Amino acid sequence: MAFIVPLFVVALLVVAATWLWDYTIMRLLWRPYTISKEFRQQGIHGPPYRFIKGCKVDIKNMMEEADSLVLDVLNHNYLPRIAPHYLKWRSQYGESFLYWFGPKPRICIFDYELARQILSSKSGHFVKNDPPPTLVAAVGKGLALLDGIDWVRHRRVINPAFAMDKLKMMTTTMLACSQSMIKELDNQVSETKNGEIEVDINKEFRELSADVISHTAFGSNYKLGKEVFKVQHELVAISMASLLDVQIPGLKYLPTERNRRKWVLEKNLRSSLLQIIQPRLASNSNEYGNDLLGLMLQTSMATEPGGKEGSLRLSIDEIINECKMFFFAGHDTTALLLTWTVFLLSVHPEWQEKLRKEMQMVLLETLRLYCPALFMQRKPVTDITVGTTKLPKGVAVVIPIPIMHRDKEVWGEDADEFNPLRFENGVTRAAKIPHALLAFAMGPRSCIGQNFAMLEAKSVLAVLLQKFSFTISPNYVHAPSELFMLRPKFGLPVILRQLDVCN
């Protein structure tokens, strides 16, 4: 018995030494050295790797310095604010460069052909890069973050909810929600002497899109939906605030103030979603509804012929994750698309009248200049060659959408300017490359909700433009910022005017 304790201690020491060797020597020292060497041999360079920290400190310093930049409203080149490190390293190291997000290698590319291969023709060899755990807690490990057989299974369940016939049925709800918002704004304007008011249109659109997604996809009331969005946004803010911190192993398990708040929010988010899901499950009917949630439940609870219980297509936890994903994506992306569209129409008022006929072109140009999603990331599941670049397994590839959307060789000399007419012959002829617009990605992993977002945006703008014209408020500060998506840092205050007053 006397030998048992020493042997146990020896075993623990061996395990600890093995982990220390694998984590410290192999992952934090040897792997960065070998990967950097492999890319240097291909002529690809980048900022030096620093132990554990990688390039995070440099990125954080550059981002903090850039945060003080304020742009003119006619200046749509916000890249120095949101991506100063990419601009600096591109200038310093060339069109493809390697950098380190902590100990994790990332290669940034700017070539459309490489992007096409990664997102489309060779997409089966790539998976989504691992997102921060706090971000996953907020938006869920749903369709947009899944890979392999799980992605196929979820896609088959969810795809019918976004068929065109289903989207057309949602139009009535979208218009009703939009008209409700417009009526409220109209009442406020009517109480003024000059027929105009100042409103933060970003806030209005966030509440509107929350209302739309709550009703169309989940059949829930706005109050429950609003609570979901509130919690999600706080979780995302926590994730982004700690994104550039040096990650210490085990820190996420300690009861720090930030971790305790995160745990409470995660619990509240799950509770709110269960309040939406459980009444459907408690129904005596086998019909769970004709919206996204109903289709997920219907498919998941289906039984085989003869009354035998079939295998669940999605578990309750998976349904909760999909609810998180579509609440967040369906709310944020459309609200931001609408926000930046109104911004561009405010500083280019001549397009407000044209928009009534050319709405598709204006929305596409907004997505080119102010795409809510900023940086796509993929990593190869095996060693692979893309173009002439050899990518080792697990090295994340960053595709910087806003930088590529301003490539003058692809989009023309006016790439930094607002020009919806570039889309007058369609998306594929707007640039020298047919797949140049990356707002919804491309290939089999293109955004499943893109038609939903565009339909909602058109419905809202059609109602808004029937009643109001708008201009940028003198209180607006043009400072686009990245908080997982591209947002106006200080909101978007605009002056709304009733059209009959203007005329």
| DSSP state letter for 255 | -
d(C-alpha 34, C-alpha 363), whole Å: 45
Which of 252, 253, 250, 248 is CA-nearest to residue 52?
A: 248
471 touches 493 (CB < 8 A): no
Binding residues for heme: 447
198 touches 491 (CB < 8 A): no
Q: Which residues pair with 398 in a beta bridge?
A: 108, 377
Could you tell me the end-to-end alpha-carbon distance of the chain, in angstroms, rounded to an integer? 96
Q: What are the Cα distances from residue 88, in Å, to 46, 75, 94, 316, 437?
A: 10, 20, 10, 46, 24
**Where are the alpha helices (H) located in 282-438, listed in sequence order?**
292-300, 316-347, 350-369, 401-404, 408-411
d(C-alpha 307, C-alpha 186), whole Å: 55
d(C-alpha 383, C-alpha 109), whole Å: 17
Q: What are the Cα distances from residue 185, in Å, to 197, 215, 364?
A: 9, 21, 27
99 touches 398 (CB < 8 A): no
Q: Which residues contact 383 (CB under 8 A, 6 or more apart)?
A: 390, 391, 392, 393
Q: Which residues contact 138 (CB under 8 A, 6 or more apart)?
A: 231, 232, 235, 236, 239, 269, 324, 328
Binding residues: 447
**Alpha carbon 3 to its chain's center:** 57
378 touches 118 (CB < 8 A): yes
Helix, strand, coil share (%) of the chain residues, nearest 5: 60, 10, 30
Please give the single-letter amino acid code of residue 459: S
Q: Which residues contact 47 (CB under 8 A, 6 or more apart)?
A: 55, 58, 89, 93, 97, 99, 100
Q: Which residues pair with 352 in a beta bridge?
A: none
